[in-house]
Amino acid sequence: MRNIFAWRPAPGTGTRLSVFAAILLSLSARAGAADQLFTNGKVYTQDPQQPWVEAFVVRDGKYLFAGSEARARELLRQGHAETDLENRFVMPALIDAHLHPVRGGTSNLYECQFPFSAGPADVQDAIARCVADNPDAVWILGDSGTAVSLSASIYPHRGVFLTRCLATRR
């Protein structure tokens, strides 16, 4: 069995994955697609001058207009699509397409596992098992979900990276 704790991504992998994701996202927005009109919703704009609007229009994947339904209809091109929001709430948001699903999937495969409620002794025991099970690993990864203080002298010849844990040096 391959030592999964010794796995290291190739240099530049993160950049290549980011560029690939950006390309895929850009392909999903079809240029020249029909305008989309959204009406009958509670549309919050986060604009202090006009916090609430009746309708908005999306053209080529971008907001074209937000305001009255009458004005929105004036801006539509022929063949547009309409969506009735059925009185639902809408608010613009940051779309962040980084790789949380990948991180979630790999954590079970490549990291020490210990429960959210683990205390320092539980975390130290779990790390000791991971170190013993993976003698060639350069780094031991883990996530306790809570702050745990560990002495840096426990594993002096191995890097231990625990998110949301506190490593202390004495």
Q: What is the pLDDT of residue 7?
A: 47
Q: Determine, yes or no, domain membership for 79.
A: yes
Query: Helices then strands (H, E): number in the chain?
Result: 4, 11
Q: What is the CATH number of the domain that holds 72?
A: 2.30.40.10
What pLDDT score does 66 carry?
A: 94
What pTM was computed for the model? 0.41
Residue 12 maps to a domain: no
pLDDT at residue 3, rounded to an integer: 47
Last residue of a domain, one of 90, 107, 124: 90
Cβ atoms 158, 139 nearer than 8 A: yes
Provide the number of structural domains found in the chain: 2
Q: Which domain holds residue 60?
A: 30-90
Q: What is the per-residue pLDDT for 67?
A: 95
Q: Could you list the mean pLDDT of each consecutive 10-residue stretch along the chain, which spans 170 residues?
A: 48 56 56 84 92 94 93 94 93 69 68 76 83 80 63 65 51
Say yes or no: 53 and 102 in one domain. no
Q: Are residues 114 and 160 in the same domain?
A: yes
The bridge status of strand 42-44 relative to strand 52-53 is antiparallel
pLDDT (0 to 100) of residue 58: 93
Give yes or no: residues 70 and 121 share one domain.
no
Answer whether residue 19 is part of any domain. no
Which of 71, 90, 109 is where one domain is finished? 90
Alpha carbon of residue 37 to chain centroid? 28
Q: How far apart are the first and last CA of the chain?
A: 37
Domain boundary among 90, 113, 131: 90
pLDDT reported for residue 5: 46
